[in-house]
């Protein structure tokens, strides 16, 4: 078992070592698919053009925390910058796996001179975390799968009679348990209080049991749009940007159910134990890639809300199709009406326990 992280680390080393002689390189870990694409277009390509730095993408963000843990433990850190969820970043920070970041020292000011700590949206900055985007996870469906009206609410998702067919859910307890409770009648603002109790957990799993036989599970963000397109599933949870990408770039007949969307922050961390030259390069990259214009640029390729306040007015239309981005943003007011804010603190405390129970529930 020890060999796997070692091998991974070794294979990650090979390209880095082979190319080190030719110039500076950065290994950037992200989520793959349309999301990495938007980063390549908005951050990586302009940066490489400007500095000649070569950037390697690894699509490992789904297992980023475990990856950083094993690299730090083995004393062989090969990742330079890692894209991570805010909750995972907080845990990595507590465990001393990622560097503390002096935001005002490392990052660019807004065009009108506001310090980064002022410019990023309140509550998104973490001691080790530079936010990039606000994104939503919510249900979406293929309109061709239903003859009449499509599902509109969370209750409809659970209604197998009115809307028969397979559901695709993410293979994690996070969000699924919250939605199960809300569908079962718990008020959104009380969800986390209920989920702290044993009875509340039983209730959430019982609600998931109702649809378990009609559920297939996904683990990578690129899967749900594919599953919907193949009609392997008729309703799926997904990241809103992925559905947007399928709607706009691939003309898929998908519809987003914004009811009780859960929004979260995603951003950069830097694993510890970087050598000095690498660290300079990383700082330079982050200064460039998180400035106001770059964050706004990313929103030209994918419908995620930029984490800087000064970027919001610069968000305009989709680069290739000219679609107005604003109504597709998870932060636009009509999409936010019933939104549930994801509680990172709760999941930092109860994540281990609930994940264990979730995995046992799946296998039983």
Partner 1 sequence: MADVTAPGFVPEARQETLTTADGTPLKVSLRRSQRRQRRRAFYLVAPLLFFLLITFGWPIAQMTFRSIYNPEVANYLPETSAAIANWTADEVPGEEVFAAMARDMQLGLEDRTIGRAAARINREIPGARSLVMGTARDLDEMQAPYREAFLQADEDWADLEFWRLIKRETRILTPAYYLLALDFEYNAEGEIVERPEVYQVYRLLFWRTAWMSLAITGLCIALGYPIAHLLATLPLRTSNLLMILVLLPFWTSLLVRTSAWIVLLQQEGVINDLLVWSNIVDDDGRVRMIYNQIGTIVAMTHILLPFMILPLYSVMKTIPPSYMRAARSLGATQFTAFTKVYMPLTLPGLAAGVLLVFILAIGYYITPALVGGESGIFISNLIAQNMQGTSAQLKLASALATILLVAVLVLYWAFNKLIGVDRLKFG
306 binds partner 1 (CB under 8 A): no
44 or 207: CB nearest partner 1: 207
Contacting residues for 135 by C-beta, under 8 A, at least 6 apart: 239, 240, 241, 263, 264, 265, 266, 304, 305, 330
Taking alpha carbons only, the member of 184, 328, 176 closest to residue 262 is 176
277 binds partner 1 (CB under 8 A): no
User: Which of 121, 216, 229, 323 contacts partner 1 by CB under 8 A?
Assistant: 216
20 or 74: CB nearest partner 1: 74
Cβ–Cβ < 8 Å for 138, 260 = yes
Residue 244: alpha-carbon gap to chain centroid: 14
231 binds partner 1 (CB under 8 A): yes
Instruction: Compute CA distances 132 → 38, 145, 313, whole Å.
Output: 12, 35, 16
User: Which of 4, 14, 21, 277 contacts partner 1 by CB under 8 A?
Assistant: 4
Quick one: which segment of 39-47, 57-65, 118-126, 281-289 binds partner 1 (CB under 8 A)?
57-65
Contacting residues for 1 by C-beta, under 8 A, at least 6 apart: none
Q: For the segment 322-361, give every residue that binds partner 1 (CB under 8 A).
A: 345, 348-353, 355-357, 359-361
Q: Which DSSP letter does residue 42 get?
A: I
205 or 263: CB nearest partner 1: 205
Residue 75: how many other CB atoms lie within 10 Å: 8
User: Which of 70, 110, 153, 214 contacts partner 1 by CB under 8 A?
Assistant: 70
| Strands (DSSP E) found in 116-218 | 130-142, 167-170, 215-218
91 binds partner 1 (CB under 8 A): yes
45 or 94: CB nearest partner 1: 94
205 binds partner 1 (CB under 8 A): yes
Long-range residue pairs from 218-222, CB within 8 A, at least 24 positions apart, any chain: 218/168, 218/169, 218/170, 218/171, 219/62, 219/170, 219/171, 220/31, 220/32, 220/33, 220/59, 220/62, 221/31, 221/32, 221/33, 221/35, 221/62, 222/32, 222/33, 222/34
Quick one: which segment of 84-92, 220-228, 256-264, 303-311 binds partner 1 (CB under 8 A)?
84-92
Q: What are the structure tokens assigned to 155, written together?
A: 């209750």
User: Which of 12, 81, 172, 236 contacts partner 1 by CB under 8 A?
Assistant: 172
- Closest approach, Cβ 226 to partner 1, in A, equals 14
11 binds partner 1 (CB under 8 A): no
Look-up of token digits 């968000």: 315
At 95 the three-state DSSP class reads: coil
159 or 355: CB nearest partner 1: 355
260 binds partner 1 (CB under 8 A): no
User: Which of 58, 88, 178, 297 contacts partner 1 by CB under 8 A?
Assistant: 88
109 or 232: CB nearest partner 1: 232
Contacting positions for partner 1 (CB under 8 A): 1-6, 62-63, 65-66, 69-70, 87-88, 91, 93-96, 100, 172, 196, 202, 205, 216-217, 231-232, 345, 348-353, 355-357, 359-364
């Amino acid at each position: 078992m020890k060999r796997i992280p070692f091998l991974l680390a070794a294979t990650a080393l090979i390209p880095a070592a082979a190319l080190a002689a030719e110039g500076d390189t950065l290994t950037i870990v992200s989520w793959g698919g349309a999301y990495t694409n938007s980063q390549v277009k908005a951050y990586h390509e302009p940066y490489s053009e400007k500095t000649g730095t070569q950037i390697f993408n690894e699509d490992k963000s789904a297992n980023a925390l475990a990856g950083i843990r094993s690299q730090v433990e083995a004393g062989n850190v090969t990742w330079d910058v890692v894209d991570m969820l805010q909750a995972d970043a907080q845990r990595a920070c507590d465990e001393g796996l990622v560097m503390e970041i002096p935001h005002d020292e490392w990052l660019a000011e807004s065009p009108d001179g506001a310090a980064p700590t002022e410019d990023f949206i309140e509550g998104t900055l973490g001691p080790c975390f530079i936010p990039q985007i606000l994104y939503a996870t919510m249900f979406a469906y293929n309109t061709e799968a239903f003859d009449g009206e499509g599902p509109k609410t969370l209750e409809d998702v659970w209604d197998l009679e009115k809307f028969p067919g397979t559901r695709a859910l993410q293979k994690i307890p996070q969000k699924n348990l919250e939605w199960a409770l809300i569908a079962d009648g718990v008020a959104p603002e009380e969800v986390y209080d209920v989920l702290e109790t044993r009875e509340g957990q039983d209730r959430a799993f019982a609600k998931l049991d109702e649809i378990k036989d009609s559920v297939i599970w996904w683990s990578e963000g690129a899967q749900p749009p594919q599953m919907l397109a193949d009609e392997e599933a008729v309703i799926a949870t997904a990241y809103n940007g992925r559905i947007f990408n399928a709607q706009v770039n691939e003309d898929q007949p998908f519809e987003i159910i914004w009811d009780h969307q859960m929004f979260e922050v995603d951003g950069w961390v830097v694993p510890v134990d970087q050598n000095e030259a690498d660290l300079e390069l990383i700082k330079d990259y982050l200064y460039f890639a998180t400035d106001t214009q770059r964050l706004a640029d990313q929103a030209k390729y994918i419908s995620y809300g930029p984490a800087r306040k000064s970027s919001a007015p610069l968000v305009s239309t989709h680069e290739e199709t000219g679609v107005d981005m604003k109504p597709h943003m998870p932060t636009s007011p009509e999409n936010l009406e019933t939104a549930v804010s994801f509680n990172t603190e709760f999941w930092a405390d109860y994540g281990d326990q609930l994940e264990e129970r979730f995995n046992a529930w799946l296998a039983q």
